[in-house]
Amino acid sequence: MPWFILTSKSDRFSEELLIKPLYSDHLYVHFQFATKWDTNPDQESFRHTHIFPRALGEIIERYNVQELHVSLAGGLWRYETWGYPILDAAPGAEVWAWFKADTEDVDKNWKELASSLSGLLCASLNFINVDNSVNPEYTFKPRGVVSDQKINSTYVRYASLPREIVCTENLTPWKKLLPCESKSGLASLLNSGYIHNVRYHSIAIHMRPVCRDDACEFTSLELQQSVSLVYDYLIMGTKNWSFRKLFGQGLMGPCPLSENSVIFVDTTSNVSVPFQLIPSPDDYITSVRGGHVSTFAKYNVKPYAMSINANYLGKESVLLNSPPSLHANQYITGYGQERGGIVTKIYNNHWGALEVVVLQNIPWYVPIYLHTLKIDVNGVRVEPVGIHYIPGRQRQRPYHLEILLKLPPRSVASVSIDFDYVFLKWQEYPPDANHGFYIGSAVISANLPLARNFTGLPQDGATIADSFNASRRGYLVQVRTENMVITLPTPDFSMPYNVICLACTVVALAFGPLHNITTKRLVLTVKDNEKLIVKIKNRIVKAWTERNSGSDVNQSVQ
Amino acid sequence: MVTQIIGPCWSVKRLGIPDSQIILMIADDMACNPRNPRPATVFNNANQHINVYGDDVEVDYRGYEVTVENFVRLLTGRLPPGTPRSKQLLTDEGSNVLIYLTGHGGDGFLKFQDSEEITSQEMADALEQMWQKQRYHEIFFMIDTCQAASMYERFYSPNILAVGSSLVGEDSLSHHVDPAIGVYIIDRYTYYALEFLENVDPHTKKTMGEFLNVCPKRVCISTVGVRTNLFRRNPHQVPITDFFGSVRPVELISNVTVQPLVTNKTQKKAPALPKKYRYVPPLVDFKYLV
């Protein structure tokens, strides 16, 4: 319907690609697709959409969703060496959503939202339930605009599925949400055979209401779709990258529905590790953000075949990678299958104090004890600024722990808490129970004062171009730590079978002798039917002994 | 054996059945398992001609979702509220359903995951429930397991054509191994069935009767079992596209004027009043904490 396309200018779509060489012999590739639709999210029925995906629109309308954030990631983002990503994602699946204030039953909507999303993205998000979701008090504030004065955190839900495997079947439906799908534009570069052969890959959907204009009296609906990939030069075999090496093909022009289609290459590291871009870029952009200067080469995607190659010039200077201001680890302590502990280590490399919020969503089968919570900063025990703790309940809700911490300059804080290993019911063990049970990653949030190693988008922006020169008061990072696997005491599921086998064997072995003993009598009998040769032998022996000893005692040998 | 299950799915997709009408259940994560030397790919045979786990595969039930309960619920339509359409079998009394099952089986059961199994009686009862609920017109039931014939022996509902890769007491043998992954990737029966389907196009005149004879004993080694007594038609007169393809004869009509029944009135909504919207600081400021 061309007339519609002509008349409707209420929605805009932009596609961007950022390629950034990381310090650690890795290449970060980020696709950012942003749709902004000037419609009132509270009144929109999603009966007809133009660029905005209707399948997603129907879901958010049905479940009264105000904001939706979904990410599916394979691998772990290495903050310490890679810096900060544009959008954080926990390993596995992660969903958080804000519901509108007139939602009657948030838990029910949340459950059904997750199961609808599982159909939309072919992921097992339907395992999200009340018993593994929390409503974070401090960590997940609305990213979009709100009109209410007070933010009521009973309308937010957060859950993660650390076990989730991300594969091509997730990418396929994700691409179908894009206006050009993967037919043309930057999304045509996303070939599953190439993009899953990387160190880290994540796909994400972020939907939120935003300001329509500067006055911010009306709202628009914004949808960000992103793919993040981290290529390893070792897997690629060379440091020189090209579209063919990264994606298996070149680019055949922009998505015709997009307003702008651009490619940025971060050339900040060109000073120390020089590389040459072929063809030469259309433009260079210098971005000064939070005291950190970075340069980007900009390419506009033109309606003909194009490819970008980077050739390293070979004269490398020694590179000192300064770790980012804040990063974190998480691990399990203890041994045996009785008691254990979870330790979260938070590193503040900044010269100033940092305020951080640690969110932990611990499954109900890992009962933690709040009195064992211990926070050490550089080995000295400290008290947290605040704690928000909702104890879990078996099979009903997880343990929700949020800790507000003030980290002194250049310090390492370790937050440790003890837990018990519990027995589950027989039916609650998964088919591969001996694989272990996952504990999702902790989320450590902070507002960094400096934008060093920071590539995230500002809160009022949706595109990579919005992040240039976007100096703000603080730069939000939400560090995700590693997932953990624990082995709960797992019964031997073949035990009944073994017991039956063993019991039957024992019975069979015992029955024969017992039957013999109880039914048969042992009687001593004298055997007469001796063989001829034995008789002859006995005679000889008898005769011989009689002659030698002259004894008259009768002997019989039997 | 992911190829085993993806292969038929890929074939029917090629013959015109859209993804939305295919429900794929895979318990394995073989394609993206870290041990797969070629991530996100599964090839139809060791010569790696066709990547069947390509860019357009949509797995509807995966991992722990693949349970006997979910399978029976899917067939009978007794799903929890909020189940997305892609996880429902939205069929009616006019639908032809193709059910393809593969895995480890035995006399009267098929294993799911490593922990449970569906018995032939449960399978037969689920199909009867489908019949009573008018959820199918005809079913083609294909199963490639050891002792496959035992799975359809108990069926008692009408209009079911069943084929199994082996008779009771026989093993179903695999075709070849992929040395890179170190597993047998496809079974003999499925291999020859797919080979047959490769040469089928949407306008084919081939019949189900021909399909039932794709794997004679000398190539399959096991005897392919067929059950036709529940099926009312002669398989030799049933086009193969009745089950394996979506062929809809399209007739173009040009001289028809359509009168809109409903006048296209846009519903007048009350215009949104300007409100003061704001962004919330993403993190709590410790100074304002009580």
Any alpha helices (H) in B148-250, and if so which ranges?
149-152, 188-198, 208-212, 217-220, 241-244
**What is the arithmetic mean of pLDDT over A510-528?**
85
Q: Which of B128, B126, B120, B133 is nearest to B157 (CA)?
A: B128
The verdict on residue B158 lying in a domain is yes
The verdict on residue A398 lying in a domain is no
Whole-number percent of chain A with pLDDT over 70? 95
- Whether residues B55 and A172 touch (CB distance < 8 A) is answered with yes
The verdict on residue B240 lying in a domain is yes
**What's the domain count of chain A?**
2
CB < 8 Å to A101, chain B? none
The verdict on residue A174 lying in a domain is yes
The verdict on residue A407 lying in a domain is no
Catalytic residue among B146, B175, B215, B220: B146
Q: Which of A365, A404, A281 is nearest to A19 (CA)?
A: A281
Q: Is-contact B247 B241, C-beta < 8 A?
A: yes
The verdict on residue B271 lying in a domain is no
* Nearest-CA distance A273 → chain B (Å): 30
User: Is the confidence at residue A550, as pLDDT, over 60?
Assistant: no
CB < 8 Å to B63, chain A? 124, 163, 165
Backbone phi, psi, residue B33, to 5°: -65, 140
Q: Note the pTM of the prediction, 2 decimals.
A: 0.87
Are A40 and A101 within one domain?
yes
The verdict on residue A385 lying in a domain is no
For residue A355, what is the nearest residue in chain B, using CA coordinates? B286
d(CA A357, CA A158): 15
The verdict on residue B252 lying in a domain is no
Interface contact A147, partner B, CB < 8 A: yes
Q: Position of tokens 């950034």? A: A20
Are A541 and A466 within one domain?
no
Q: Which of A7-11, A276-280, B144-148 has the lowest mean pLDDT?
A: A7-11
A27-41: pLDDT as tens digits: 999 999 999 999 888
**What is the arithmetic mean of pLDDT over B107-127?**
92
pLDDT at A208: 94
Q: Where are the beta strands (DSSP E) in A378-424?
A: 380-381, 386-390, 399-407, 411-420
Residues paired with A210 in a beta bridge: A220
pLDDT at B191: 87
- Whether residues A141 and B280 touch (CB distance < 8 A) is answered with yes
Q: Which of A98-112, A133-147, A466-480, B244-258 has the lowest mean pLDDT?
A: B244-258
Category of B247 on φ-ψ map: left (φ > 0), alpha (ψ -120 to 50) or beta: beta
* Nearest-CA distance A145 → chain B (Å): 5
Q: Which of A41, A55, A50 is nearest to A13 (CA)?
A: A50
Residues paired with A283 in a beta bridge: A298
The verdict on residue A237 lying in a domain is yes
Q: Is-contact A364 A399, C-beta < 8 A?
A: yes
The verdict on residue B24 lying in a domain is yes
The verdict on residue B78 lying in a domain is yes
For residue B82, what is the nearest residue in chain A, using CA coordinates? A112
pLDDT at A318: 63
Question: Domain residues for B10?
Answer: 2-244
Q: Position of tokens 């995966």? A: B62
CB < 8 Å to B80, chain A? 115
d(CA A77, CA A380): 29
Residues paired with A12 in a beta bridge: A36
Is B146 an active-site residue?
Answer: yes
Q: DSSP code of B231?
A: -
Cα atoms found within 13 Å of the Cα of residue A451, Cβ hemisphere only: 22
Report B:58-77 residues touching A (Cβ under 8 A).
58-60, 62-65
Give the one of B33, B59, B269 whose C-beta lies nearest to A43's C-beta: B269
d(CA A252, CA A27): 22
d(CA B159, CA A346): 65
A45-57: pLDDT as tens digits: 888 888 999 999 9
Are A316 and A229 within one domain?
yes
d(CA B188, CA B194): 10
Whole-number percent of chain A with pLDDT over 90? 63
Q: Which of A15, A420, A38, A24 is nearest to A239 (CA)?
A: A24
pLDDT at B266: 57
CB pairs under 8 A between A and B: 153
Tokens at A239, concatenated:
């440091």
pLDDT at A317: 63
d(CA A488, CA A464): 44
Is B49 an active-site residue?
Answer: no
- Whether residues A169 and B278 touch (CB distance < 8 A) is answered with no
**What is the arithmetic mean of pLDDT over A255-264?**
93
Interface contact B160, partner A, CB < 8 A: no
Report A:441-460 residues touching B (Cβ under 8 A).
445-447, 459-460
pLDDT band at B269 (very low <50, low <70, confident <90, very high): low
d(CA A332, CA A481): 12
User: Is the confidence at residue B186, as pLDDT, over 90?
Assistant: no
**What's the domain count of chain B?**
1
A106-139: pLDDT as tens digits: 999 999 999 999 999 999 999 999 999 999 999 9
The H or E element spanning position A113 is helix A106-121
pLDDT band at A273 (very low <50, low <70, confident <90, very high): confident
A334-388: pLDDT as tens digits: 998 889 999 999 999 999 999 999 999 999 999 999 999 999 999 999 999 999 9
- Whether residues B58 and A111 touch (CB distance < 8 A) is answered with no
CB < 8 Å to B277, chain A? 145-147, 209, 211, 216-219
ipTM of the complex: 0.88
- Whether residues B40 and A196 touch (CB distance < 8 A) is answered with yes
User: Is the confidence at residue A280, as pLDDT, over 80?
Assistant: yes
d(CA B276, CA B258): 47
> In angstroms, what CA-CA distances link A415 with A48, A254, A347, A372, A446?
50, 48, 11, 10, 16
- Whether residues B283 and A385 touch (CB distance < 8 A) is answered with no
**What is the arithmetic mean of pLDDT over A445-468?**
90
d(CA B262, CA B264): 6
The verdict on residue A350 lying in a domain is no
pLDDT at A1: 39
Question: Domain residues for A269?
Answer: 10-324+453-486
The verdict on residue A388 lying in a domain is no
pLDDT band at A438 (very low <50, low <70, confident <90, very high): very high
Residues paired with A226 in a beta bridge: A32, A204
Q: Is-contact A207 A63, C-beta < 8 A?
A: no
CB < 8 Å to B6, chain A? none
CB-based burial of residue A523 (10 Å sphere; 0-12 exposed, 13-18 middle, 19+ buried)?
exposed
A283-340: pLDDT as tens digits: 999 999 988 889 999 999 999 899 999 998 876 666 667 788 999 999 999 998 889 9
Q: How does strand A260-266 pair with strand A292-300?
A: antiparallel
The verdict on residue A403 lying in a domain is no
CB-based burial of residue B217 (10 Å sphere; 0-12 exposed, 13-18 middle, 19+ buried)?
exposed
d(CA A462, CA A104): 31
